[in-house]
Amino acid sequence: MAKSICICGTGSYVPERIVTNVELEETSPTNRNWIQEKLGIMSRRRVAEGEATSDMAVAAGRKAIETAGLKSEDIELIILGTITPDRLIPSAATIIQRKLGAVNAVAFDLNAACAGFVYGLITGAQFLETGHFKNALIIGADTMSMITDYEDRTCAYYGDAAGAVVIRLIESENGIKSMYFASDGRSVDSVTVKGVGSEHPLSEEVLNNRWQYLYMGGKDVYNKAREIIPMSIRKALKMANLTIDDISYVIPHQPNLTLLKECAVDVGLHLEKVAIVLDRFANSSSGNIPLAMDLLNQEGKLKDGDNILLVTIGAGWTWGSVVLKWKG
C-alpha cells in the first residue's frame, strides 16, 4: 500500500469568556442586528488577562497530540500559523515547543494572515513527503482581540481561538489528495496592521492614527474573497479529480455567513455541507479551520473515507485549498 499524509489527531481551544453582540454594541460603534443578520455572528471568545496566543496553541496542540496517540517528545516539527505571536522575538512556535515539552521538534512561525493554517499544513506536508520528518504538529492560533480596534465597527468580526492537527506519513489509501496555494501582493493596504513594524515603528503618529490595530477594507475583502474562494475550491477539486458532489464537508475560513452562502451557491454546494463556527466564535483568523475540523471530529461527523475540502483566503492576498480523504 502506498504511503499518504494523513491527519491523525485534532485539537482545539477557545477562551472561556464569551462576548455577545449586546455587550459589543454597548462598548463599540456597531449594531447587534447588523452583526447577526449580515455577518451571522452571535458571539465570540476573548482571552483572559495574561493569556497569550501560545497558551491557546498549547491547549489545542496537546489535544491533537493525544488524539494522535503520540507524546510531545514524539513530535518532530511544529508549524504555527499566526499573525498575533506572543512576541516579535522569539517565534511563538518555540515558546509552544517549550511549553509542550516537544524537545525533539523543529519549530517556526508562519504568517499568511487568515490563510496561515492552510499554508502551514501544505508546508508541513512537503517536509513529510521528502522524508525529512515523520510527523508534524500544525497549529492555527490567533488572539485577534489584541489587534482589534474597538472604536471601529469591524471589531464585531473577530474572536480568539486555536486549533491543531497532527499529520503523519503512513500507509493508507486516505490522506491528502490535492494542495493548492497562491498569493498576490498588490493589496498591502486592504487588510493590514500598518504600524509597529519596521515601516512605521511605534511612534506618536502610529498611536494617533491607530495604526497599531487591524484595518480591514470590507468591500475589498468581500469582492476578493467572493472571487477567490470558489476558484480555489474548483482548483483543488480538479487536482484531486473529484467533483463538488464527492465532498462530505467544506471547512472554510469564516469571514461572514453571507459570503459563505454565496460561495456555496456558486460552486453548487449544499449549505449543510459547509462547516460553520463563526456564529459562536467569529473570525479567529488562522484558528477558524482547525477549530471547525476538531469540532466536527469531536461530534463524530467525520467518517473514514469522507472527502474534506479546506479553503481559505487571507491578507496579502494569500489563499489556498486542500482536499483530503479522512482517515477514521
The DSSP 8-state label assigned to residue 273 in this structure reads G
135, 174, 283, 297: the active-site residue:
283
Give the whole-angstrom CA distance, residue 64 versus residue 317: 29
Question: Is residue 323 within 8 Å of 176, Cβ to Cβ?
Answer: yes
Residue 1: which of 171, 175, 134, 176 has the closest Cα?
171
Q: Kindly give the interhelix angle for 288-298 and 53-67, rounded to the nearest 10 degrees.
A: 40
Residue located via cell numbers 500544525: 138
Residues 274 and 260: their CA atoms lie apart, in Å, by 8
Q: How many residues does the chain have?
A: 328
114 is catalytic: yes
Helices (H), 28-134: 32-34, 53-67, 92-100, 116-129
Active-site residue flag, 288: no
For 8, phi and psi rounded to 5 degrees? Answer: -110, -5
Query: Which listed residue (114, 155, 174, 288) is catalytic?
Result: 114
Choose, from 6, 111, 253, 256, the residue flagged as catalytic.
253
Q: Where are the beta strands (DSSP E) in the chain?
A: 3-13, 17-20, 43-46, 77-81, 106-110, 135-143, 160-171, 175-183, 191-192, 215-216, 249-252, 307-314, 318-325
- Relative to beta strand 77-81, strand 106-110 is parallel
Whether 297 is catalytic: no
Q: Which of 193, 194, 125, 120 is CA-nearest to residue 162? A: 120
Amino acid identity of 135?
N
Q: What cell does 267 get?
A: 460552486
Residue 37: exposure state from Cβ atoms within 10 A (0-12, 13-18, ≥19): exposed
Point out the residues that are catalytic: 114, 253, 283
